[in-house]
Amino acid sequence: MKRHIFLTRREVHLPEWRTAFPAMEARPHAAADERLAPPGGALLWLHVDNNVKNPEALVESIRKATPGCAVVVLSNVPHDDEGLAVLEAGAAGYTGALAVAAVLRNIEAVIANGGLWVGPDLLQRLLVALGRHAGRSARGAARLDRLSPRESEVARAVAAGATNKEIARKLAITERTVKAHLSQVFAILKVRDRLQLAIYLNGLPKEAQSRILH
Amino acid sequence: MKRHIFLTRREVHLPEWRTAFPAMEARPHAAADERLAPPGGALLWLHVDNNVKNPEALVESIRKATPGCAVVVLSNVPHDDEGLAVLEAGAAGYTGALAVAAVLRNIEAVIANGGLWVGPDLLQRLLVALGRHAGRSARGAARLDRLSPRESEVARAVAAGATNKEIARKLAITERTVKAHLSQVFAILKVRDRLQLAIYLNGLPKEAQSRILH
DNA sequence: CGGCCACTTGTCCACCAGGACAATAGGCAA
DNA sequence: TTGCCTATTGTCCTGGTGGACAAGTGGCCG
């Protein structure tokens, strides 16, 4: 069972949180307090309100002080920009401090599976905003693929900035296999390493990409 | 208890899915089949593979035919663009067809609480893509200091695909100094390595580049 | 002058990336 | 059946990468 540690300055929400995780612990979070490093694997719930100026910096320092612990931010005044900021700072989740117990438990489950929790609203905003300027990929027109399907997946992941380890996890194969595919891709596209591959693919117009990627 | 209906043309994954939801139902999904409208409140799991040309259209028609049902897309060859497309088309979740039972149950839990399920990879891409554009400007934090002249030169070289050794030769400095500049650039732009730096810079519009590069 | 900043270089070290040898299994076509 | 292709994994090894300690120089500003 995972440990749940709630970092907060106020106690108003503790009863509700406790209904979600009866075995929870609460700590006041002062700047110095982060050095009481919880054991790796614990889940840290960071409560922020209007008094916290920049939660993202707080998240960063906490994550640095407690490697291996996921941090979820509970905001008194949830706001998309704030959520975006803390998630970029490395938080694994962002939601309102008033979230009901069921939601908290869901967040825990999602994070336990390596996911990130983003509220529906923020996610929707992300989707539309990205969809607008990422454009529709010309699919269904896949032809003349010079790369095999598997090679394409790996190439795409590299073009997105992933490491071999990440790709391996994502495709559920070993790192060795990723390397094998990548070596093949390098040879086919005549690039010397992943950096040039990424530059090459990202610099290509979408139509050209789908001609070489499956 | 919610009903789980798996729409698929192949049966290979049914055993795994059944371990997640013993009471699941399976239906072949043909175009005409969508008129067998499942009762509202059911969760539809749509299995797509390479043969499905545009899953987003399929999702849209299914959602139109079955209002009140959330649709989760299980892809044989998951990839970010496809995920983006189906989510914009109204899907409530997107993951690989090989997802283990625990993940499927998590997805169900998330959706039951009004959330959308997005894999960590896709979400990460959403965050970096959007965060670099909207998130920055909205959130003051004008500490996006431009890079120093020397740092800019190094950053530009990396964005062009150069190695440390090449940059060192070009700038007539030691490789060590190149590393020093690069570490600084990584910290300022909040990227973890040269690959993501290159992607970041190459993805930026020209005018945005000149704001951070000298 | 003292402090700050940009630029420079050093060593040590853990980790990642790719190439060079491999090998095995399944699908598919001649 | 034989051969080719794709996907998969193995070990060994070299070189590239980036962080963690530092530390020395020169310029500019209050």
* Residue at token pair 């998330």: B110
> DSSP E strands: which ranges in chain A?
4-7, 25-27, 43-48, 70-75, 93-96, 117-118
Same domain? B110 vs B18: yes
Residue A64 lies in a domain: yes
Q: Higher confidence at residue B50 or residue A113?
A: B50
For residues B131-147, average pLDDT:
43
Q: Counting Cβ atoms within 10 Å, is residue B172 exposed (0-12), middle (13-18) or buried (19+)?
A: exposed
Residue range(s) defining the domain that contains residue A157: 149-212
Show residues of chain A in contact with B79, CB under 8 Å: 153, 156
A129 and B CB contact within 8 Å: yes
**Lowest mean pLDDT, pick from A27-36, A143-152, A168-177, A189-198:** A27-36
H-run or E-run covering B19: helix B14-20
**Is the dihedral angle over the CA atoms A18, A21, A25, A29 positive or is it negative?**
negative
**Lowest mean pLDDT, pick from A146-160, A172-186, B109-123:** B109-123
Q: Are A135 and B92 in contact (CB under 8 A)?
A: no
For residues A108-124, average pLDDT:
69
Same domain? B114 vs B146: no
Q: Are A126 and B130 in contact (CB under 8 A)?
A: yes
A173 sits within 7 Å of strand D by its CB: yes
Same domain? B35 vs B84: yes
Cα gap A92→A44, rounded to integer Å: 10
Mutation target for B interface from A121, A195, A197: give the one with most B CBs within 10 A. Answer: A195
A137 and B CB contact within 8 Å: yes
Residue that finishes a domain, picked among B70, B86, B118 = B118
Residue A137 lies in a domain: no
Residue B123 lies in a domain: no
Looking at the predicted structure, is the pLDDT value of residue B200 above 80? yes
Distance A121 CA to C11 C1' (A): 50
Position B186 scores a pLDDT of 93
Closest alpha carbon to B110 in A86, A190, A116: A116
Residue A44 lies in a domain: yes
pLDDT over 90 for what percent of chain B? 21
Same domain? B77 vs B8: yes
Output the 3-class SS for B90-112: CCCEEEECCCCHHHHHHHHHHHH
Same domain? A18 vs A70: yes
Show residues of chain A in contact with B198, CB under 8 Å: 195, 198-199
Residue B173 lies in a domain: yes
Q: Are B107 and B77 in contact (CB under 8 A)?
A: no
Same domain? B89 vs B51: yes
pLDDT band at A163 (very low <50, low <70, confident <90, very high): very high
Interface list for A 20-49 with B (CB within 8 A): none
Q: Find which nucleotide's C1' atom is closest to A179's CA.
A: C18
pLDDT band at A37 (very low <50, low <70, confident <90, very high): low
Same domain? B152 vs B114: no
Q: How far is CA A117 from CA A72, B39, B106, B118, B202, in A?
A: 8, 29, 12, 9, 29
The distance of B26 to chain A (nearest Cα, Å) reads 25
Same domain? A61 vs A12: yes
pLDDT band at B143 (very low <50, low <70, confident <90, very high): very low
**Lowest mean pLDDT, pick from A137-141, A167-171, B112-116, B180-184:** A137-141
Output the 3-class SS for A62-80: HHHHCCCCEEEEEECCCCH
Coil, helix or strand at residue B139: coil
Position B120 scores a pLDDT of 64
Q: Which residues contact B205 (CB under 8 A, 6 or more apart)?
A: none
Same domain? B109 vs B57: yes
Looking at the predicted structure, is the pLDDT value of residue B125 above 80? no
Residue A142 lies in a domain: no
Q: How many domains, chain A?
A: 2
CB contact under 8 A, B116 and A139: no
Same domain? A31 vs A88: yes
Cα gap A56→A68, rounded to integer Å: 18
Half-sphere exposure of A114 (CA within 13 A, CB side): 11
pLDDT band at A96 (very low <50, low <70, confident <90, very high): confident
**Lowest mean pLDDT, pick from A155-164, A178-187, B23-32:** B23-32
Residue B127 lies in a domain: no
Same domain? B78 vs B22: yes
Same domain? A117 vs A182: no
B124 and A CB contact within 8 Å: yes
B165 and A CB contact within 8 Å: no
The distance of A36 to chain B (nearest Cα, Å) reads 26
Residue A124 lies in a domain: yes
The distance of B148 to chain A (nearest Cα, Å) reads 23
A139 and B CB contact within 8 Å: yes
Q: Counting Cβ atoms within 10 Å, is residue A129 exposed (0-12), middle (13-18) or buried (19+)?
A: middle
B182 sits within 7 Å of strand D by its CB: yes
Residue that finishes a domain, picked among B73, B102, B118 = B118
* Residue at token pair 């650039």: B185
Cα gap A150→A111, rounded to integer Å: 28
CATH code of B149's domain:
1.10.10.10
A171 and B CB contact within 8 Å: no
CATH code of B11's domain:
3.40.50.2300
